[in-house]
Amino acid sequence: MIGGALALGLTGLVSWPLVRELRRAPVSNALRDAAPGLFADLSRGRTHYQWFGPEDGDVFVCVHGLTTPSFVWGGLIPDLVAMGYRVLTYDHYGRGFSDRPRDLQGAAFFTAHLTELLDYLEISDDITLMGYSMGGSVSAAWTADNPDRLRQLILLAPAGMGHDLGRTAEVVARLPILGDWVFHMAYPKQFREGVARERKLPSAIPDIYDLQLQELHRRGFLRAVLSSLRGMLSQQLRREHQVVHQSKVPVTAIWGADDTVIPIGCKTTLEQWNPRAEQAVIAGAGHGLAYTHVNDVISAIKDRRV
């Protein structure tokens, strides 16, 4: 009896992450019907995207990071539109309203996704591309593959040169099977605690912290985050940044002086990999600078506009 109860208990413990995942809501058609923007049917699934600004404006593509979908750009969009840009935002697979494929989310996965979306929208060249956090890695990798299509690359607290996503994320990224279990059990609590710490910060997006927590309740989100940790965020992008340097694409990197996720020391790394890159540091800004220090970010973009 004791052995049977123990086995049953262990089975329940092992299967608990799966049970929790099945309890999460799928990204349903009803949810998408209520979403702003449009959807593109691409090779790995449906992709949610939105256009803002004048149809004849210069195209400005925004690539979000690991856990916060395209709503992260809400504070910056009005100023970018006021500058005359036609702004495109989209959700990575596994986030927001986009589909949840099971592929490893490495550089090739993300760059192919962006290429497909741009081709679907018939956007060929003269693009200003801005990537935030992990989106900075994606943008740098895409630029290295497509330098002739860009007018300018803007990197906002970019990953790919070193980061600190917390002990849980760092450990489980290296452990198959057991790492999956630990991640699904421990990461939601770590994520909630991180959001709670940020609630005291000012934000140009009033409900961004609640929107971030909503992602935890959608099926496939945690799997996508873990896949990105093992893929895109496990890669150092020295080669890509050196290729961008050689291509002479204008690059602007904007950093938060108090960022503990992408430390300011990465600025020195980028200087070594791409000496041509112009860099700006925002005093008092942490990793949420895309929505906590909107005016400073916009000023840095305006000062270096190409």
Q: What angle do CA 239, 245, 249 make, to 5 degrees?
A: 125
Question: How much is the pTM?
Answer: 0.94
Q: How confident is the prediction along the chain (306 residues), in pLDDT tens digits per residue?
A: 455 544 444 454 556 677 788 899 999 999 999 999 999 999 999 999 999 999 999 999 999 999 999 999 999 999 999 999 999 999 999 999 999 999 999 999 999 999 999 999 999 999 999 999 999 999 999 999 999 999 999 999 999 998 776 666 777 777 787 888 888 888 899 899 999 999 999 999 989 999 999 999 999 999 999 999 999 998 899 999 999 999 999 999 999 999 999 999 999 999 999 999 999 999 999 999 999 999 999 999 999 888
C-alpha to C-alpha distance for 94 and 100, rounded to whole angstroms: 4
**Structure-token match 């906590």, residue found:** 292
C-alpha to C-alpha distance for 216 and 21, rounded to whole angstroms: 10
* Cβ-Cβ contacts under 8 Å for 271 (sequence gap 6 or more): 277, 279
Q: Which H/E stretch holds residue 230?
A: helix 221-230
pLDDT (tens digit, 9 = 90+) per residue, 29-65?
A: 999 999 999 999 999 999 999 999 999 999 999 999 9
* Bridge pairing between strands 251-256 and 278-282: parallel
C-alpha to C-alpha distance for 60 and 305, rounded to whole angstroms: 12
